[in-house]
Amino acid sequence: MKRSPAGTGENFGFSDAPSATATAAGGGSEAVMTYLEAISDALRTEMRRDPDVLVMGEDIAGSFGGAFKVTKGFEEEFGARRVINTPMCEQGFVGAANGMALMGLRPVVEMQFADFISTGFDAIVQYAAPNHYRWGAPVPWVIRAPSDGGIRSGPFHSQNPEAWFVHTPGLKVVAPSTPADAKGLLISAIRDDNPVIYFEAKPLYRSIRGEVPSGEHTTPIGKASIVREGTELTVVTYGSIVHQSLAAADRLAGEVSVEIVDLRTLKPLDTGTVLASVRKTGRAVVVHAANRLAGVGAEIAALLAEEAFEYLDAPVARLGGLDTPVPFSPPLEDAYRPDQAKITEAIRRTARF
Amino acid sequence: MRLTRTLDDQMIALWKQGRGVGGTFNQRGHEAISVGTGAALAPDDVATPLHRDLGCYLIRGMTPRRIVANQLGRAAGVTGGRDANLHGCGDLTLGIVGFISHIPQSVSTALGVAMSFAYRNEPRVAMTYIGDGGTTAGLFHEVLNMAAVHRAPLVVVVENNQYAYSTPLHQQMAGQNIAPRSEALGVPAEVVDGNDVDAVHTAAAAAVERVRSGGGPRLLEARTMRMLGHAIHDGAEYVPSGLLEKWKKRDPVVLYERKLLDEGIVDQAYLDESARRCREITEDAVAFAESSEWPDPAAVEEGVFAP
């Protein structure tokens, strides 16, 4: 997988300037795609396979194809019946997805931005999440939530609200960091009989490319991935910060041997992979873009304190966004977010403890 | 209607005797609405009834045994002790979708049910229920708007019982009726006497027929009066007694039985036998529920996720 140079200059997915055409490799078994193309590919694959899969959301139909163009060309291929433009009412259309899912359809709902998911909160956390526990009826929908910042979009187009949903019994939460997992986790989410919130990292949309298996490629929900092996310290992370962490680990090569766990699924959490890695390395840095306070990283740190205490040679370090709204202006947002330099510093501090 | 009334009275008695678990909601005043609308649906249709729609659950085949067991938190209840009273009493094999306390959620869920029927080109109808209080929430308006845009096969039944808990209608909205709001959003609406089961049924059947034949969503506003408190704990002292006295003369169960007698459709012996049978069914359900097992606490974590 190639990463764009860190820093500025990427278009971060906001324009629909075509990226290089994906090329099939190895007899059509794999293709190089952007993260965004992998999401589209997953949707298209599942809609071709299963007539019960449909997409709905704001501005997703027609030649427009969504704010980020994920569903560009979908109405042409699948028709207006399966590519549904909704009015601007998240609570109404997530509620409608609840009813569709109860009847056995598999709606994939696009939140235009993850920030707007709060508008549909009751339909997600009060209706869909506890439904199977309450009366045994599955609610198999997926909400795609374009999240994350670093792209100078201010308080309402930059949020990482995953902790709200991890805290809600009955929801599954995934957050892929690579094109292959973006496709694999979306297909798995569509096939899962539970409501799944799929956080897609906007900064990765067009800034990373990678090999993506063709056809029905799935990534199991609930399985973390070791994206870099090491022996002296574990970084536990997910989403766009995986790439910042990889860059930091590369920079520290020869100084600290860093292992990186990409959680991929935030609920149900793959505690086994996290614990095995930290028990091996004895040191842990937990980092995510969402605010640190009561975030997913707090749960990881608590897990390590409870179940790996005797293996730890240093306190668990936690990095995350500040306990503020996401600020707009570059110097402010840079101060808000964890980045490669902050991760490097945290790794050094923890390694030297 | 008689069974709905008898079962409801029995629940009130149980709770007053301290045999209830948690709270329970009352049906009195709503019987003609839940029965008249529920009876207008076909077996393949789907309803999303609320806590004052006991008649709809019964008509669609949910047994009093399962319902009372649910009220008493037993394993044999519809939710196996996971949810209280009629909340969550969904059973898709009966075409019943369970509701949550965030009332307008049922309306949006029913919209999705209706859209799934249209998606699969099935001639089925979704019927949803909401009170006057629920219609003041934004979601109600979102759903009517979206249902009209998609011409969804949806019938929305508004039970205008004049109180949202303790808040009278004039403190909830300007105007007395919800129907004009529905019309403004593109959903044709009709107002009906909610204490006259024949009138409710005729209007509901017509709405269902129009919706089923592709005419787009319809709203039926049934006006009634909630004759008891919001739930068993609530004495409803805030309701002027004159108002209750006035509506008491129009008790929907009494009105209908008198009509059946007046028109010579049944005789008093039939009604007496019917009442006796309803008491028998109700007593059986209570005995079943009270003697049935509590849910197993060891299973408290099961079922959060679908397998």
Asked whether B197 and B36 are in contact (CB, 8 A), the reply is yes
- Is there a contact between A101 and B90 if contact means CB atoms under 8 Å apart? no
Between the alpha carbon of residue A126 and those of residues A99, A265, B105, the distances in Å are 14, 22, 9
B252 vs B239: CA distance, rounded Å: 19
- Token pair belonging to B234: 């609530």
Active site residue A132: no
Who among A102, A130, A140 is closest to B109 (CB)? A102
Task: Determine how β-strand A24-25 pairs with β-strand A30-34.
Answer: antiparallel
CA-nearest of A276, A256, A283 to A353 is: A283
- What are the helix (H) ranges across A178-327? 179-191, 241-251, 271-281, 296-307
CATH architecture entry for A30-213: 3-Layer(aba) Sandwich (3.40)
A residues 125-164 closer than 8 Å to B (CB): 126-127, 130-138, 140
- Is there a contact between B306 and A169 if contact means CB atoms under 8 Å apart? no
A136-182: per-residue pLDDT in tens? 999 999 999 999 999 999 999 999 999 999 999 999 999 999 999 99
Which of A23-27, A48-52, A90-94, A189-193 is the least confident region?
A: A23-27
Q: Which residue in the list A132, A157, A217, A288 is annotated as catalytic?
A: A157
Where does the pLDDT of residue A28 fall: very low under 50, low under 70, confident under 90, or very high at 90 and above? low
Q: Is B151 on the interface with A (CB under 8 A)?
A: no
For residue A20, the model assigns a pLDDT of 40
Instruction: Tell the burial category of B87 from Cβ atoms under 10 Å away from its Cβ (0-12, 13-18, 19+).
Output: buried
pLDDT of A6 higher than 50: no
Asked whether A24 and A31 are in contact (CB, 8 A), the reply is yes
- Token pair belonging to A13: 């997915």
Angle at B212 between CA B208 and CA B213, to 5 degrees: 120
- Is there a contact between A127 and B105 if contact means CB atoms under 8 Å apart? yes
Where does the pLDDT of residue A12 fall: very low under 50, low under 70, confident under 90, or very high at 90 and above? very low
ipTM of the complex: 0.97
Q: Which of B115, B143, B145, B150 to mutate to test the interface with A (most CBs of A within 10 A)?
A: B115
B247 vs B244: CA distance, rounded Å: 5
A107 vs A53: CA distance, rounded Å: 6
Q: Is A169 on the interface with B (CB under 8 A)?
A: yes
Q: Which of B127, B142, B300 to mutate to test the interface with A (most CBs of A within 10 A)?
A: B142
Listed by start position, the domains of chain B span: 2-290
A225 vs A272: CA distance, rounded Å: 11
Neighbours of A174 (CB within 10 A): 28
Q: Is A9 on the interface with B (CB under 8 A)?
A: no
Where does the pLDDT of residue A22 fall: very low under 50, low under 70, confident under 90, or very high at 90 and above? very low
CA distance B246 to chain A (A): 38
Q: Is B138 on the interface with A (CB under 8 A)?
A: yes
One fold for A30-213 and A225-352: yes
pLDDT of A5 higher than 80: no
pLDDT of A10 higher than 60: no
A201 vs A262: CA distance, rounded Å: 14
Neighbours of B205 (CB within 10 A): 15
Neighboring chain A residues of B117 at a CB cutoff of 8 Å: 103
Instruction: Report whether CATH 3.40.50.920 matches the domain A225-352.
Output: yes
CA distance A130 to chain B (A): 7
Neighbours of B169 (CB within 10 A): 18
Listed by start position, the domains of chain A span: 30-213, 225-352
In the DSSP assignment, the letter for residue A239 is T
Q: Is A265 on the interface with B (CB under 8 A)?
A: no
Ranges of chain B with pLDDT below 50: none
CA distance A171 to chain B (A): 8
B204-224: per-residue pLDDT in tens? 999 999 999 999 999 999 999
Task: Give phi and psi for A124, each to the nearest 5.
Answer: -85, -60
A304-316: per-residue pLDDT in tens? 999 999 999 999 9
Q: Which CATH superfamily is domain B2-290 in?
A: Thiamin diphosphate (ThDP)-binding fold, Pyr/PP domains (3.40.50.970)
Q: Is A79 on the interface with B (CB under 8 A)?
A: no
For residue A1, the model assigns a pLDDT of 52
Asked whether A180 and A38 are in contact (CB, 8 A), the reply is yes
Half-sphere exposure (CA, 13 Å, Cβ side) for B270? 8
B150-188: per-residue pLDDT in tens? 999 999 999 999 999 999 999 999 999 999 999 999 999
CA distance A137 to chain B (A): 8
Neighboring chain A residues of B83 at a CB cutoff of 8 Å: 134-135
